Structure 1
Amino acid sequence: MSKFETLKSIRKAGVVAVVRGNSEENSYRTAKACIEGGVTAIELAFTSPNADVTIKRLNEEYAGNNDVVIGAGTVLDEATARMAIVSGARFVVSPSFNENTAKECNLYAVPYMPGCFSPTEIQSALTYGADVVKIFPGSIAGKGIISEIHGPFPYVNVMPSGGVSLGNMHEWFASGAYVVGVGGGLVGPAKNDDYKAVLHNAQAFHNEFQSIIYANSAVTRKVPVKA
């Protein structure tokens, strides 16, 4: 899968599940539940035990399915980025921007999504080739930050993460989000090994995103075309 195809699949998924498991099996089963529920973009945090093994396992299981995109999260340095990429991670997410991590991802044509919170950080991330800027934590930044960012950086793809819920997801997209990252509100029940609840949550998030897409396309169709 090329870099362009990866970004296309992530955009199509709409929701990136942030999986931070308490064991290798917990991470795997949580990710599986998300995928089966329709949330097919997975950010497997490197705070999870043996995250690289889980990424490889999921990639092997879903090989050939371009709708399923397995990436790595909480990548703080180039060594971890390299480990994630070798394991098959299709994209790399960080809570903050790191130059060497950006270079490593660019070297292997893997989308890099660093966490940013200021215009300076966003400009640095874009300068080093970041494909998507993660606004983190979104709960503190607020939805209005996206339109403010798009003032000086109209071309930047923004992924809010932290503070996105089933109830407010449509507001984030209305504000200009490229894709959203969702953690506890989606995968929280996995802490108690309740993977059925995770699957139901994933279905709800997937259905909500589909309704947002449908609503947006309906509005587009109603726009009159000038002669």
Structure 2
Amino acid sequence: MSPLLNQLRADKLIAIVRNVPRQHLRPAAEALLQGGIQFIEVTLRPGDGDVSREMLVGIEELKKYFGASIHVGAGTVLTCAGVDAAAAVGAEYILAPNMRPAVIHRAKEKGLLALPGAYTPTEIEEAWCEGADIVKVFPADSLGISYFKALRGPLPHIPLAAVGGVSVENVGSFLAAGAVVCGIGSNLVNEQRAASHAWDEIRTMAAAYRRSVQEFTEKR
């Protein structure tokens, strides 16, 4: 297991930054880091090349500014070209809402962690067999905590990430049910908070998620 994967599994949280303008990425990342979250996913926007290019530049800028203090990944990476573009700007991992074997393989060839998305046990197992480091179960809130518990029976060897609707109140429950990582989206960083420069609010929410994870860890 790579050091980065070890750290991700220890940290247990990825902040998903979506629909946030490039100029707001740095203060958002600063607030997240101050709140105790080091893993940040900057999502691309398939079908909108201009926005995706802006986000790739944003990833590169974050890596240059923060260095090893944060770990930045690219989200909604649907193609091998997207993997190449993410790797070129310093992304350390890629995430997707779906599972394409070619994308997983390219990520591994580039030395990136691969967190493809899956929904059913068949998709989850296929993603794992294709080389996924962690399989992102999405949307987690629609499937429910009981779904993660059920998956642990036949698939205890596959590390899962819960993404979609993970709140401060339920993050510990998802982890207890078997998720090794949780991805936090608009409950933490969203377009409105960025537009209003609500960095203190993001910092406070990040710290709340970190406390919830710590409480889960202490109970184990």
Matched, 1:110 2:112: yes
Identity of aligned residues (%): 28
Provide the C-alpha distance between the structure 2 equivalents of 1:15 and 1:201, rounded to a whole number of angstroms: 12
Matches within 5 A, 1:1-227: 4-47=2-45, 50-65=54-69, 68-188=70-190, 189-216=193-220
Provide the C-alpha distance between the structure 2 equivalents of 1:64 and 1:159, rounded to a whole number of angstroms: 23
What letter is aligned with 1:45? T
Cα deviation digits, residues 15-47 of structure 1 (max 9, x gap): 110001331112332222111211111011013
Q: Please give the TM-score of this superposition, normalised by the length of structure 2.
A: 0.90
CA RMSD of aligned residues (A): 1.5
Provide the C-alpha distance between the structure 2 equivalents of 1:84 and 1:139, rounded to a whole number of angstroms: 28
CA contact (8 A) 1:20 1:27 kept: no
Q: How many residues align?
A: 212
Q: Which runs of 5+ in 2 are unaligned?
A: 46-50
CA contact (8 A) 1:45 1:51 kept: yes
What letter is aligned with 1:118? T
Provide the C-alpha distance between the structure 2 equivalents of 1:77 and 1:192, rounded to a whole number of angstroms: 33
Provide the C-alpha distance between the structure 1 equivalents of 2:94 and 2:33, rounded to a whole number of angstroms: 18
Cα deviation digits, residues 134-166 of structure 1 (max 9, x gap): 010011111112222222221111101011100
Provide the C-alpha distance between the structure 2 equivalents of 1:155 and 1:162, rounded to a whole number of angstroms: 22
Q: Secondary structure at the match of 1:16?
A: strand
Larger radius of gyration: 1
CA contact (8 A) 1:39 1:206 kept: yes
Q: Secondary structure at the match of 2:133?
A: coil
Q: Please give the TM-score of this superposition, normalised by the length of structure 1.
A: 0.88
What letter is aligned with 1:125? A
